[in-house]
Amino acid sequence: MQFFLIQILLIMKRIKFYFVLLAASMLLFTNCSKDEESNGDNHVAESDTDGDGVNDDTDNCLDVSNFNQADSDGDGVGNSCDNCPDDANPNQEDADEDGVGDACEEADEADEDNDEDGVADNVDNCPETANSGQEDSDEDGVGDACDNCPDDANPDQEDGDEDGVGDVCQEVNEPDDDEDGVANNEDNCSETANPNQEDSDGDGIGDACDNCVNTANPDQSDENSDGTGDACEAAPDGDGDGIPDNEDNCPNEANPDQKDTDGDGVGDACDNCMEIFNTDQADADADGVGDVCEENDEGIGDVPFAVIEEVPIYPGCEIFNSNDQRKNCMSEKINAFFAENFNTALGSELGLSGINRIYVQFRIEATGSITVLGTRGPHPRLEEEAMRVVSLLPNMVPGRQRGQPVGVLYSLPIVFRVQD
């Protein structure tokens, strides 16, 4: 019994030893934890927000991963987050908040030249319209080339009615009663449309409203109110045919009908070769017959359509056998061709009115091709239009005189009315 008690005591001593040892271990562990916490107060752990392996305190793009830290413009902001990576802009200004730095937009503007006039858009006073000279008559900062009122300063370019003319111009401009594009204070016919402002006699009154077109009469006096100015009525009329000499195509030969078959400006009554265009009326041998007619009489040169022995054959007229039938057919075909192709709308565009006549003469060559010889009309553009239409005429079978192909002269009056 005594032996068992001794063994129990020994076991309890051992157990006590282990408890002491366990308590000591726990105390040591507690002290170590406190030491670690104490050390943490004196040292902050390093961080890497974007996880690119570069600590935040040295990363040139904190929120965007860029492990290589590329910075092309050397402004301290990495390419990955720089809003203008090729132009240094450390403050990253972006006034319009479009994600592109101001430094880049300024550089782009300096390089752009949309109208290709050699002036960059950011300094061009008309960036959409080429104007290398940068003229700005009214000094409003908008170049003349694109200014909707170039003579009156209007930097805002307001145009309430969107007619392309700035409001400031419409406010200061004179009215345009005849709506021909010329203001009343500059229009030589303010109540009759005449955009070309033609004034044949130079008296300041446009032909469109001048009561004596070819004689200067700025006062437009018309004592008998017949619509013809006194200056015209007072003009001499040497041949007494009722046409003043300054308007008469034969001032020394009475010809009230003013007939001019060849359209050369010389009336038939005094033309020394009325079938052939010859404005100079050359007559070397002074026999009263123009040189151009004598050349034809000798079998040299051209023959008028009226007297040609074998008329040229217009395409489609070959079905007729007689010369007269082919002449009539050709005349009808040519008249129809001009009626279809001549732009009569030009009369209105040019401000003309009433009946207009254009005389044209051309030659059907011995080869059958067409050559324009001359035109005469009330406006150069009408003459050009007549030449254009002649050039469209088809080739023909050439006319013949004494069995030989010859040039044939053809004169044509083109007459049309412009509705007022």
pLDDT band at 252 (very low <50, low <70, confident <90, very high): very high
Query: Is residue 136 predicted with pLDDT exceeding 70?
Result: yes
- 266 close to 259: Cβ distance less than 8 angstroms: no
Helix locations, 45-174, DSSP H: 102-111, 167-172
CA distances from 142 to 117, 135, 166, 205, 280 (A): 15, 9, 12, 36, 54
Tell me: the pLDDT tens digits for 384-406? 999 999 999 999 999 998 888 99
- Long-range CB pairs of 29-34 (<8 Å, 24+ gap) are none
User: Residues 106-133: what's their mean pLDDT?
Assistant: 82
Q: Kindly state the tokens that stand for 393.
A: 């005429």
Query: Is residue 286 predicted with pLDDT exceeding 80?
Result: yes
pLDDT of 122 reads 87
Region of poorest pLDDT, from 56-65, 284-293, 305-314, 336-345:
284-293
Provide the 10 A C-beta neighbour count for residue 304.
20
Query: Is residue 365 predicted with pLDDT exceeding 90?
Result: yes
Helix locations, 49-174, DSSP H: 102-111, 167-172
Tell me: the pLDDT tens digits for 173-217? 568 888 887 888 888 998 888 888 888 878 899 988 998 887 788
Query: Is residue 108 predicted with pLDDT exceeding 70?
Result: no
- 210 close to 201: Cβ distance less than 8 angstroms: yes
User: Residues 46-72: what's their mean pLDDT?
Assistant: 87
Residue 396 φ/ψ region, left for φ over 0, alpha for ψ in the -120 to 50 degree band, beta for the rest: beta
